[in-house]
Amino acid sequence: MRVNYEDLSKTVAALTEGETDEVALMATVACELHHADDRFDWTGFYRVTEPEVLKIGPYQGGHGCLVIPFARGVCGAAARLNETQLVDDVEAFPGHIACSSSTRSEIVLPVRNKAGEVIGVLDIDSNQPAAFDQEDQAALESLLDAVFGSLPAAK
């Protein structure tokens, strides 16, 4: 089954309406996304917990890496560059961190608050090569902006 982003966006909006806790929002989004598409093998968030450091947040799937520095891997690149990383073949990505040996491709998107600050990244892994495309990127960026874009700036 392939995700219907329009329906997913409506479901997520209904489930998260009025919620401002970023962990609660991340947990809900990870769950809804993970079960919406057979391509999504691991779906979760890494949170910015200190400068240049991502730590595991809410996720669905097998174990994830606990800590990822901004300087390493696809997740680190998305956070460091503040831009989506669409990777057709993780083995070809310089510095890829293999949290799971089954991962063949992934998409990692920065998660921003109202001030545009990166508060984390959404990481979706697939056990299929080249599983993600521009349609996924545009829809996921829109979903993240709708859910997290109104959160206040970090204190």
Mean pLDDT of 98-113: 88
SS3 53: strand
User: What is the rounded CA–CA span in Å between residue 115 and residue 154?
Assistant: 9
Q: Is the full-model pTM beyond 0.75? A: yes
What is the fold, at CATH topology level, of the domain defined by 5-148?
Answer: Beta-Lactamase (3.30.450)
Q: Where are the domains of the chain?
A: 5-148
pLDDT in tens, 11-46: 999 999 999 999 999 999 999 999 999 999 999 999
pLDDT in tens, 43-89: 999 999 999 999 999 999 998 889 999 999 999 999 999 999 999 99
pLDDT of residue 155: 63
Confidence label for 102 from pLDDT (cuts 50, 70 and 90): confident
DSSP class of residue 9 equals H
pLDDT of residue 48: 97
Q: Which is it for the CA torsion 90, 101, 23, 131, positive or negative? A: positive
User: What is the rounded CA–CA span in Å between residue 79 and residue 46?
Assistant: 10
Q: How far is CA 111 from the centre of its chain?
A: 7
In this predicted model, which residue has the larger pLDDT, 81 or 93?
Answer: 81
